[in-house]
Chains A and B, each alone.
Chain A
Amino acid sequence: MGKIFDWIDSRFGVKQPHKKFLERPVPEGVNYAFCLGGASFVFFLMLVCSGLMLSIYYVPSEQEAFMSIVRLNNDVTLGAFIRSFHKWSANLLIITIILHTIRVFIYKAYRPPRELNWIAGSLTLIIALGSGFTGYLLPWDQKAYWATEVGTSMASTVPFIGKYILYLIRGGEDVTGATLIRFYSMHILYFPTIMFLLLWAHFHMIKKQGVKGGL
């Protein structure tokens, strides 16, 4: 590779231990459906990048959230583009994760020794859905408010502890500014951190166990 990379790598040493992994043969019977996991990861990276950009203009407050979105859409150069980019990447991420799950299921790649990787993948899907749900409230418009009102009400139907789960999610009895800040924090800090850890585990296991070939 390039001179700068070689200078860094002769000190950092990331190439040598990965040599075997990077030069491994691809198993027989793979096809383009095996790219769905990689596609999901690309959408995740796109979400991280566009999300970092959105966070520069977004104001997570009851009074200003909606107006900051309006400003982002109308005044900021490329604002509407970055917002749509984030929205569509999110939609496509969910779609590609589900297709990837179906592919893994059909090819029986969840079988031993890959059970734990299936579990890590399932948790990734749950975190992705959670990110979608929390991100939906952030524009703080009517659609967002009612979607959250209904979605969080479902948590209160859990027997015995439903009320406390509701308090934990909403930060009070009703959907208010406290809910908005909680969702914002979950959306930009908790879920992405958990997601990075899960994906690291996911890729680590692929590296160790290899790709399960065709049927």
Chain B
Amino acid sequence: MVRRDFLKSTVKIFFLLISIISVSVFSIFTYPWKFKRKELTFFHATDEEALPIKGVRQVFIKHIRGNTQINSKAFIVNSGSELFALSPVCTHLGCLVNWYRPKNRFLCPCHGGQYDMNGKVVKGPPPADLNRMPIKIEDGKVYIGLRV
């Protein structure tokens, strides 16, 4: 009977090993094989004359990914004392927010997140403020940096 017990535990260990190997192979196999290296690139967004004197302006940044043209939304905000660009991606679950002028707030259509003009969370579930995007002005043209 000793031999039988030995064989039984050997088979058990064998199947345990096979399970562990299968799970690890599956995890490694399904792990993304390539992360796109994202580099900060500046794209022309609008001209300097079109910038808001005080307030928010929605711009679309045209760029090409693969062979489709993409219009990325962004907001240029002039709070009176400071000029900056805000990403429209809600920090809650990644929907795109809209600027709602009557309330002077950014509203997220998905779960009711609200941000003020500076991108600070006012109401709703978002855990963090809207991200700022790099912006630069050269020769009267406004460029916004995207990671693509």
Contacts and interface: CB of A to CB of B under 8 A. Distances in A.
Interface of A: 62-63, 146, 149-150, 153-154, 164, 167-168, 170-173, 178, 182
B95 interface: yes
Interface string B57-100: 00000000011000000000000000000000000111100000
B67 to A, nearest CB: 8
The DSSP consensus for interface residues of chain A is: helix
A178 B67 CA distance: 16
A168 B30 contact: yes
Interface residues of B, number: 14
B94 A172 contact: no
A90 B115 CA distance: 37
Interface string B28-61: 0011101110000000000000000000000000
Nearest to A176: B36
Contacts of A164: 31
Contacts of B110: 146, 150
A130 B7 CA distance: 41
26 contacts: A62-B66, A63-B66, A63-B67, A146-B95, A146-B110, A149-B94, A149-B95, A150-B93, A150-B94, A150-B110, A153-B92, A153-B93, A164-B31, A167-B31, A168-B27, A168-B31, A170-B32, A171-B30, A172-B32, A172-B34, A172-B35, A172-B36, A173-B32, A173-B36, A178-B32, A182-B30
A204 to B, nearest CB: 24
B94 A173 contact: no
A182 B31 CA distance: 12
Given A150-B110, A168-B30, A173 B93 contact: no
Return the 3 tightest CB-CB contacts between A and B, nearest first. A153-B93, A150-B93, A172-B32
Contacts of B93: 149-150, 153-154
A173 B34 CA distance: 10
Interface string B4-35: 00000000000000000000000100111011
B146 to A, nearest CB: 13
Contacts of A149: 93-95
Nearest to A147: B110
A170 B35 CA distance: 12
